[in-house]
């Protein structure tokens, strides 16, 4: 259940969220990242790999800015269900391209702890690509538990807060919001 009010706050399943990044800012950042990618990969033929479910909005807007020869694929991570630790990732679903010798650009909606990104990269590196760069709309530098030297394109760095919108969800809701909202902690 979702509801809006006038001050750009929303409620999803009894949690309050406030807007922190609006869609016009997101579009500007993605346009700039697209320009950078077009230049960096001008004479290559990269494959963009989107990590579902969250990346679908970023991927759609980003690919509208890409004017070089490229391919697109999507993967999904399935986490172990029923365990207390949700940071254990079981497998990558849908990696159906041969990545050997390819320039790969991984597209994420958000990198927080980095557990799922590390799992994704391990699976990609196992195929011996020529290069791997990570493009993420949101990065939580204070939440990272892994070190990455290839997060090359970042839309926005945010604090270690829970966010929804623009592909990100809370209990399945909020993914279709065009803006990004952060959770407002409950009052005392």
Residue 103: C-alpha distances to residues 73, 87, 119, 133, 188 (Å): 13, 27, 18, 8, 50
Residues annotated catalytic, as ranges: 112
The pLDDT tens digits of the residues spanning 128-164 come to 999 999 999 999 999 999 999 999 999 999 999 999 9
| CATH domain 2-81+88-183 topology | Rossmann fold (3.40.50)
pLDDT of residue 7: 64
Which neighbouring-strand residues pair with 136? 108, 154
The predicted-structure confidence for 23-57, as pLDDT tens digits, reads as follows 999 999 999 999 999 999 999 999 999 999 999 99
pLDDT tens digits, one per residue of 81-110: 444 445 555 577 888 889 999 999 999 999
Domain positions in the chain: 2-81+88-183
Q: Tell me the whole-structure pTM to 2 decimals.
A: 0.90
CA 61 to chain centre: 12
């Amino acid at each position: 259940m979702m509801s809006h009010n006038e001050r750009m706050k929303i409620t999803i399943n009894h949690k309050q969220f406030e807007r922190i990044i609006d869609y016009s800012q997101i579009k500007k950042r993605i346009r700039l990242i697209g320009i950078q990618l077009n230049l960096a990969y001008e004479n290559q033929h990269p494959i963009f790999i989107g990590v579902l479910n969250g990346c679908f909005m970023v991927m759609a807007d980003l690919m509208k800015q890409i004017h070089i020869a490229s391919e697109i694929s999507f993967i999904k991570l399935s986490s172990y269900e029923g365990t207390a630790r949700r940071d254990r990732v079981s497998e990558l679903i849908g990696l159906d391209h041969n990545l050997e010798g390819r320039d790969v650009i991984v597209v994420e909606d958000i990198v927080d702890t980095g557990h799922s990104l590390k799992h994704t990269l391990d699976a990609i590196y196992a195929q011996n690509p020529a290069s791997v760069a990570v493009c993420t709309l949101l990065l939580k530098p204070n939440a990272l538990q892994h070190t990455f030297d290839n997060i090359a394109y970042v839309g926005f760095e945010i604090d270690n807060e829970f966010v929804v919108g623009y592909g990100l969800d809370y209990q399945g809701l909020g993914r279709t919001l065009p803006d990004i909202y952060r959770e407002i902690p409950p009052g005392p």
